[in-house]
Amino acid sequence: MAEDEGPGLPTGPPTDWPTGPVGEPSASEPAPTRRRRWPWVLAPVVVVGLTGAAGAVVLLGDDGDEAYCEALDTQARDDVDVIAFLEPDVSAAAVDEMEAILEDHPDVTDLRYVDRDEAFAEAQELFAGEPRMQEILRPEDVPTSFRYLVADADAALVVELDLHDLDGVLRVEDSTELNRTVWSLARLLDDDVIQGGAGRFGHLVAPDRVERLEDTAPGDVADEVTLVLEALNGDSEIEQRHRQAAEDIIRDGVDRCGFRP
């Protein structure tokens, strides 16, 4: 089952952003100035780290492995996480108006407001490896946001359209194109694409998927499955043991399930 690569998602930082991978700014690029509109930059950088995984193809493994292989190749979750970023100078009245609309919206669940302090702490963590960014990053440059869940991509679009014309809405980002299989997420983990704080878009693997994997995992890879799920669903720093477990799962998935290497 080949996985959709999600063509609608940004494949890299904005064109005015320093070139090179996150954490390794290019020496040829000038340092950004305080005039840069950070809110336009933060959302794509948060999202881009979770893109680019290859899909899996199940050829069915040995007898008794089918349930496990299917669980590995099942989309990690159905619902869609959304972050509605607000303009840095948004008024308190506009925030209250948006909150009221989202609270009353039938498609919205698990609504949470991220204030200035929390947003700045997230930005500091995101750019922890970039001294230039740390020097010029200010709390007033970082957007506050509303975080919420919707049932599917259609509902995400409906809510986004309802927010579109409100004062103070800067940008709406969702995980519609990030609903990948557990197998592809493990590959991202092994490739060092998913960093600490993988829970920025909420838990990446839904509880029912976790239960299916834990129930079907063969005994020789059960511990590795547990570690991979811990890394994918955690907000703490991802450690080498998690990446090693992902490597073991990938090797096992190729041998046991016939997934593409």
C-alpha span between 129 and 6 (Å, rounded): 28
The CATH class that applies to domain 79-177 reads alpha beta
Q: Considering the entire predicted model, what is its pTM?
A: 0.55
CA atoms within 13 A on the CB side of 79: 19
Chain centroid offset of residue 118 CA = 18
Percent of the chain, pLDDT > 70? 70
Query: CA angle 15-121-184, nearest 5°?
Result: 60
Per-residue model confidence (pLDDT) at position 4 = 46
Domain with CATH 3.30.70.3040 in the chain: 79-177
CA atoms within 13 A on the CB side of 103: 8
- Asked whether the CA dihedral 49, 50, 55, 60 is positive or negative, the reply is positive
Mean pLDDT of the chain: 76
**Is the per-residue pLDDT at 177 higher than 90?**
no
**Is the per-residue pLDDT at 31 higher than 60?**
no
**Is the per-residue pLDDT at 243 higher than 50?**
yes
**What does the pLDDT average to over 239-256?**
93
Per-residue model confidence (pLDDT) at position 104 = 95
